[in-house]
Chains A and B, each alone.
Chain A
Amino acid sequence: MQQVHAAAGASRRRLLTGTAGLVAAPFVIRSARAAEAVSIGVVMPLSGANAQFGINARNGVQFVADQINAAGGIKALGGAKIELVVADATSSPTNAASVAQRLITQNRVLAMIGAFASSLTIAISEITERRNLPLLTMSFSDEITGRGFKNIFQVVAKASVLGKAQLDLTMQLAQAAGQKLERIAIMYEDTAYGTSQSGGLRAAAKAAGVEVVMDEAYPLGITDVTPLINKLRGANAQAVFPVSYLNDSLQIIRAMRAQQIDIPTIGGAAGYVIPDFARGLGPAAEGVLSISPANYDLAPELTEPFRQRFGYFMVHEALENGVCLSVVAEALEKTGKADREALRDALRGHRFETGLAKAMTGGAVQFDATGLNTLSEPVMVQWRGDQLVTVAPGHLARAQAVWKR
């Protein structure tokens, strides 16, 4: 608890005192501890455009770390506690890389978890790969596990798979409601995540013989989405698939409703699956669908304590980043030594099914040779009041989807 807070405070203090605070704080902690704790780096965008997600992600990791420590730490390492070293990646890849570098050289972390946004994760992975340090991530981009890196582990399905599921599950929902989808619109943020997920969507649409009547990229941090929605209105689509973070997702739904466009909206996770979405939109959020790599309602017994502690439901980025740490802990129990290469080898191939890993779709986590979790399967969720309910695929659904034509 205490060291977690000190480390989190360090990233904040850095704003005032430059790097000195960050470097010094974990150092002080280490000398104060007798037993050798296991340091895990947590690099998240805690400021800038993706900060909200970074904070959620950090909360998820912290949640799991506290649980492990409260239960007696890593038993195979003599009860060693997990010590999180939290650092702010900001929302720029260059900063993310230099922060990661510093965590390795100065904080001597054993593994790293980060960094929500794919573009940041890719930047960090260049560093961790060179240093042979395991990096666990819930970023979606295909590029993450598509480069043949040996030290990267992606606990969620890839963006292209998410994009495909986004379309395929939507087709199923429409069909169940007696509608055949023929014309869809895609709009996405031109970041690594938006581009690769929309790529999956596009390919799936082509395979399914669905015409993409609008296919538009827009810049991150857009301040006026009206042109986008004007195009959507002209496109005469039956459903729209926006892939965006929070700032743009709120603007898009508001502008759509203002133009009285209420065709089914199927978001691409990120901004569409966090409490702030419903909080900002109120009734306008009701019934909005989204793809998600995981959802808290699939394992309420594991995610409810998070809500009780932090006051909001366990958003998927909190859950999956928590899973990253849970998996590291289980791998450490297996190897019995705090060695980064042994840890990497233990991560690969083993089926992780303790702790939060059970909350993932598939009920476990297993990485293949590229580091991809092969058990993860995307789900479709829908807003009901201030809750996200899993509505597809059928074997995971917790409620029937509402499909308005």
Chain B
Amino acid sequence: MLSLAQAVLDGVMIGGVYAVISMGLTLVFGVMGIVNFAQAQFLMLGMFVAWFAWRFLGIDPLLGSFLAFGAIFALGWALQATLFRRVLAAPPVAQIFLTVGLIIVLENSALLLFGSEFRSVATPYQTASLRLGELFVNVPYLAAFLLSVVCGGLLWWFLDRSWFGRAMRATAQDPMAARLMGIDAARMHRLAFGLGVGLSAFGGAAILPYLTVYPTVGSQFSVLMFTVVVLGGLGSIAGAVVGGVAVGVIQSVSTLVFPIQLQNLVLFLLFIAVLALRPEGLMGGSR
């Protein structure tokens, strides 16, 4: 019972992070209809921004995550303005080529610029934990989770309450009608893409205190991100939250019964089952 409670707690904490890194993917799809296969590479870039901020400016990665968000938001904005803009109306194959090509470009640029070694930050709280009775709450995980909650809350507020957010949703629903109402759709797309990749970068930086960063770290997350998003319903922000927490908890709880090696097998079996029974995802259609 105790180990179940611990596993659920750990799963929720890691799931919160999965939710934030996946929100970007779902946001980009929701607003622009593009599946960004290179999403996880922006997470890697965010980790690098935070690592460099820590190494050379002495900024803790948790604060650095805001820096990572800003830097990668700007990069996303620029990429949308130059590259992605051109494939918005193109056939899906062109979009796939662009995003998959971007994986190769980003990973290899990181390899050339930063080298291939693992980089790790040493924070004062890296081995800290809190006790909740018999339960352990790992501080780096908790910090990443809380940051994810804050970030998710801000995103919700932005999309639901702010003028920009409403304009963005309007663009997603009907670009033509939005344009007629005086919304600059191209600008909304830049904003959405910047936000989307910025969120993944933010999540990447938030998990840096307990992980290491290297140019191919993104590939460890890309399949997970897609699972989260498809599980929750592609294009649904609430779905990313539900999917993220579900993936985190499934991964964590499955290890109570099965070997850790089978962690992802259990996840994907459940994933396939969900798709078979509910192809639109857990929260699909409720967007």
CB neighbours (8 Å) of B129 from chain A are 258-260
CB neighbours (8 Å) of A46 from chain B are 116
Shortest distance from the beta carbon of A58 to any chain B beta carbon, whole Å: 11
- The answer to whether A250 touches B120 (Cβ under 8 A) is yes
Question: When the two chains form the complex, which single residue of B3, B117, B221 contacts A223, counting CB atoms closer than 8 Å?
Answer: B221
CB neighbours (8 Å) of A284 from chain B are 126-127
Interface assignment of A4: CB less than 8 Å from any CB of chain B: no
CB neighbours (8 Å) of B164 from chain A are none
Shortest distance from the beta carbon of A217 to any chain B beta carbon, whole Å: 5
CB neighbours (8 Å) of A247 from chain B are 118, 211-212, 214
CB neighbours (8 Å) of A178 from chain B are none
CB neighbours (8 Å) of A230 from chain B are 3, 6-7, 10, 255
Interface assignment of A254: CB less than 8 Å from any CB of chain B: yes
| Contact digits for A304-340, partner B, Cβ 8 Å, 1 yes 0 no | 0000000000000000000000000000000000000
- The answer to whether A47 touches B116 (Cβ under 8 A) is yes
Interface hits, B1-16 → A, CB 8 Å = 3, 6-7, 10, 14
**Contacts A48-B116, A218-B261, A227-B255 given; does A255 touch B216 at CB 8 Å:** no
**Contacts A47-B215, A227-B7, A227-B263 given; does A258 touch B252 at CB 8 Å:** no
Interface segment among B69-77, B134-142, B146-154, B278-286: the answer is B134-142
Shortest distance from the beta carbon of A25 to any chain B beta carbon, whole Å: 16
Interface assignment of A49: CB less than 8 Å from any CB of chain B: yes
Interface assignment of A224: CB less than 8 Å from any CB of chain B: yes
Shortest distance from the beta carbon of B209 to any chain A beta carbon, whole Å: 9
Interface residues on A, range: 35 or more
Shortest distance from the beta carbon of A56 to any chain B beta carbon, whole Å: 9
**Contacts A254-B126, A258-B128, A258-B138 given; does A217 touch B260 at CB 8 Å:** yes
Interface assignment of A394: CB less than 8 Å from any CB of chain B: no
- The answer to whether B252 touches A227 (Cβ under 8 A) is yes
Interface assignment of B112: CB less than 8 Å from any CB of chain A: yes
Bound-state Cα–Cα, A51 to B263, Å? 26
- The answer to whether B252 touches A254 (Cβ under 8 A) is no
Interface residues on B, range: 35 or more
Bound-state Cα–Cα, A55 to B251, Å? 34
Interface assignment of B122: CB less than 8 Å from any CB of chain A: yes
Interface assignment of B99: CB less than 8 Å from any CB of chain A: no
- The answer to whether B216 touches A47 (Cβ under 8 A) is yes
- The answer to whether B116 touches A51 (Cβ under 8 A) is yes
CB neighbours (8 Å) of A219 from chain B are 260-261, 263-264
Bound-state Cα–Cα, A216 to B261, Å? 8
- The answer to whether A217 touches B261 (Cβ under 8 A) is yes
- The answer to whether A234 touches B3 (Cβ under 8 A) is yes
Interface assignment of A208: CB less than 8 Å from any CB of chain B: no
Query: B215: nearest residue on chain A (CB-CB)?
Result: A47
Interface assignment of A78: CB less than 8 Å from any CB of chain B: no
Interface assignment of A228: CB less than 8 Å from any CB of chain B: yes
Interface assignment of A354: CB less than 8 Å from any CB of chain B: no
Interface assignment of A385: CB less than 8 Å from any CB of chain B: no
**Contacts A218-B260, A224-B251 given; does A280 touch B128 at CB 8 Å:** no
Query: A245: nearest residue on chain B (CB-CB)?
Result: B118
Shortest distance from the beta carbon of A50 to any chain B beta carbon, whole Å: 9
13 A-B interface contacts by CB (under 8 A):
A16-B108, A51-B115, A51-B116, A51-B117, A52-B118, A219-B264, A223-B211, A223-B221, A231-B255, A247-B214, A259-B138, A280-B212, A281-B122
A residues with CB within 8 A of B: 12, 15-16, 46-49, 51-52, 54-55, 190, 216-219, 221-224, 226-228, 230-231, 233-234, 246-247, 250-251, 253-255, 257-260, 276, 279-282, 284
The 8 closest A-B pairs by CB, nearest first: A51-B116, A257-B127, A280-B120, A227-B255, A258-B129, A52-B117, A47-B116, A258-B138
- Could you list 13 further interchain pairs (A-B, Cβ under 8 angstroms) beyond the known A217-B260, A282-B122? A15-B108, A46-B116, A49-B216, A54-B116, A55-B116, A217-B261, A219-B261, A226-B10, A227-B255, A227-B260, A250-B118, A279-B120, A279-B122
